Amino acid sequence: MKVSLIQFDIRWEDKHANFAGLSRLLGGVPEGTDLVILPEMFNTGFSPAADAFAEGPRSLTFEWMRKTTLDRGFALAGSYMVTEGGKLFNRWVFISPEGDTFRYDKRHLFAHGGVELNYTRGSERLVFEYRGVRICPNICYDLRFPVWSRNRNDYDLLINSSNWPEARRDVWLTLLKARAIENQCYVAGVNRVGLDGLDINYSGDSMMIGPKGEIIASAELYRECIVSCEISIEELNEFRNKFPASGDADSFTIHA
């Protein structure tokens, strides 16, 4: 599978400017790409004004994503604010040109400073298959909680769409590698760059990590760019068979 990560300077609270900027960047995605991953809150930035910017499940942003996949021929995924049933979610949405759609609601909410105080946390872990790759998505702060993303031999690629501040850059780099090593999987970490409306700076550090913790591809710091690479399920399975650490893992149960 060929995957591209979009490291993007999200325009604060301006959906149409973000759609335009992303469309420009997406024009540079390599031919043959299967999946393009966007950062967390790619359409607005992490604005506290959720009441003004949250959308219904199949509204403006969903339709932009759907049209983009149809026009360009690759699947597209990222998170944005969604309101449903009177509740607010930080929702990661996947849409493919074949019409496949999947969604994941952020489980671990970053309540520090009230950032996600009014959001409802997700209760269901998602794993789905696309073009022969089993995918498990999570969002930003989820990366700190390894039990939630523990691989039970059910996925190959862990995706984290994020708004991860530069101030915690070392944590980001360490946890991405840790999740790849402990789960014997590929990990795609997709982060934004730039300064947001709350004066928080983001360095990017978007990258694809291999199952041994090796960096397969990485972005330039502080710059909008596309990170593209290929991941091989055949090579991943070969490594897992040679070093079957998952067979020694402890069993556990997650309670909602």
Dihedral (C-alpha) 195, 198, 204, 208: value to the nearest 10 degrees?
A: -150
Q: What secondary structure does DSSP assign to 51-68, as a single string? A: HHH-B-TTSHHHHHHHHH
User: SS3 of 167, please?
Assistant: helix
Q: How far apart are CA 106 and CA 121, in angstroms?
A: 6
Provide the annotated active-site residues.
40, 106, 140
Q: How far apart are CA 230 and CA 236, in angstroms?
A: 12
Q: How far apart are CA 68 and CA 164, in angstroms?
A: 26
| Sheet architecture: strand order including 2-7 | 101-105, 87-95, 75-84, 35-37, 2-7, 225-230
**Two tokens at 237?**
């399975």
Contacts of 241 (CB under 8 A, 6+ apart): none
Q: How far apart are CA 22 and CA 64, in angstroms?
A: 11
